[in-house]
Amino acid sequence: MQKIVKTIIFLIFLFILSVFFIGLNKDTNYNTANQINKEIPDFKVSYLDKENFFTKNDLRKNNFTLINFWASWCAPCRIEHPLLIRLSEERNMKIVGVNFKDKKEQAKKFLGELGNPYDVSTKDTNGKQSVLFGIYGIPESILINKELIVIKKFVGPLSVNDFNYIKEIIK
Amino acid sequence: MNIKYLLIILLLTSQSIFASEKQIDPKEVQKNLRCLVCQGQSISDSNSDFAQTIKMVVDDLINEGLTEEEIYSFMSDKYGEWIVFKPQLNIQNSLLWILPYMALILGGFFIIKLSNKKNKITK
C-alpha cells in the first residue's frame, strides 16, 4: 500500500513538473498560424471616397491581393509606405487599403503627402470589419491568392524581407 | 390529480422555456476575453482601442443570436485560443479537464481504503 502511495505521489509530482515545463515554454504571443491557408471571411467595407461597398467578391478578379490595414495616425504605417509604393508597381498583385479608425480628411492628406499605393481605398471607421481578419493593431497586411486563401499575414510594418517574400510569391 | 400533474408539467416546461430565452450578459462574455494589447487585463477591464472594438463586436454577435460558446469560438478563430480565458475542451488540454475528476475519484478511493483499514485494525 505504501509503495502505491509513493508511486502516486511521484507521478503527481512528475505531472506538475511537466505541466509547468510545457506551460512555461508555450508561446503565448499572438500569432497568425490559425489564419494561414484559410479563406478570408465575408466582409463589407465602404470605399474611402464613395458610399458604395467593397466586398470579398470584388477580390476574385485579382491574381494576388495584398490587403493593408493602415491609418494616418499610425507612425509605423509611414515606415512601410515606401515599400507599399514599390509593391504597387507589381502587375500581378493589387493592393487594397483599409483605412482603420481614421478621419477621411486625414487619410487623404496622408496619401497626398506620401503617395497612394492602393488600387482600391476603403475604410473601416469603427474597426469592426477588421476584427473579421483578426486585426488587433496596425499596420497589418494580408497576402491572398486568387482563390482568396490567406498566404501570409504580416503583423507590424512590412520589412524589406517581407517585400522580397511578396515579390517572390507573386512573380 | 390530473390537474396536479398538468401543473407540474407546465411548471417544468415553462422553466426550460425561460432557460432557453436567457439573455447573454455582454459583460460576462467580455470578462472571459483577454485584451491582447494589455497586460493581464480582460476586454471588460480595458479601455484600449482594441477592447472597445471587441466590445462592439461582442454586442453585435449577441444581437445576431450567437450563444456564448459560439462567440468564444468566433474569437478563437480570429485571434487564437489565447484570447479566451476559459480554456476550451480539446485534446491538448483534455488533462486539465479530466484531472480534477480523476483526483476526486482517486481521493475517494483512498479515503474508503484507509477507513476500511482503520476499521479492520479497531475490530
pLDDT confidence of residue B1: 53
Q: Which of B37, B60, B113 sits opposite A136 (nearest CB)?
A: B37
B42 torsion bin: left (phi>0), alpha (psi -120 to 50), beta (else): beta
| Sheet (strand A53-55) strand order | A53-55, A44-47, A120-124, A93-100, A64-70, A140-145, A150-155
- Give the pTM: 0.76
- Output the average pLDDT for chain A: 92
Higher pLDDT, A162 or B82: A162
Residues of chain A with pLDDT under 50: none
Query: Are B60 and A128 an interchain contact pair (Cβ–Cβ within 8 Å)?
Result: yes
pLDDT interval class at B106 (50, 70, 90) = confident
Chain CA centroid to CA B89, Å: 11
Query: Are B56 and A128 an interchain contact pair (Cβ–Cβ within 8 Å)?
Result: yes
pLDDT confidence of residue B118: 82
Residues of B with CB under 8 A from a CB of A: 36-37, 49-50, 53-54, 56-57, 60, 76-80, 82, 99, 106, 110, 113, 117
Instruction: State ipTM.
Output: 0.80
Cell numbers that stand for A16 in this block:
506538475
Residues of chain B in contact with residue A133, where contact means CB-CB under 8 angstroms, are 78
Higher pLDDT, B121 or A42: A42
Beta bridge partners of A97: A68, A121
Which residue, chain included where needed, has cell 494589455?
A: B38
Does the pLDDT value for residue B13 go beyond 70? no
Locate the chain A residue with the closest alpha carbon to B114: A1
In angstroms, the separation between the Cα of residue B122 and the nearest Cα of chain A is 19
Domains and CATH numbers, chain A: 32-170 (3.40.30.10)
**Which class for B8: exposed (0-12), middle (13-18), buried (19 or more C-beta within 10 A)?**
exposed
pLDDT confidence of residue B22: 66
Query: Are A136 and B49 an interchain contact pair (Cβ–Cβ within 8 Å)?
Result: no
Helix axes B68-79, B49-63, angle to 10 degrees: 140
pLDDT confidence of residue A91: 92
Q: What's the rounded mean pLDDT across residues B42-65?
A: 95
Query: Are B82 and A28 an interchain contact pair (Cβ–Cβ within 8 Å)?
Result: yes
Closest CA to B68 of B51, B53, B86: B86
Higher pLDDT, B107 or A23: B107
Q: Does domain B24-88 have CATH number 1.10.1660.10?
A: no
Does the pLDDT value for residue B67 go beyond 90? yes
Q: What's the rounded mean pLDDT across residues B77-88?
A: 85
Q: What's the rounded mean pLDDT across residues B56-71?
A: 95
In angstroms, the separation between the Cα of residue A105 and the nearest Cα of chain B is 21
A155: three-class secondary structure by DSSP:
strand
- Output the average pLDDT for chain B: 84
Closest CA to B38 of B88, B82, B81: B82
Q: Which of B53, B99, B110 sits opposite A131 (nearest CB)?
A: B53
Q: What is the per-residue pLDDT across B36-49, written as a single tens digit (0 to 9) for each?
A: 989 889 999 999 99
- Rounded Cα gap, residues A79 and A75, in angstroms: 7
Q: What's the rounded mean pLDDT across residues B20-44?
A: 88
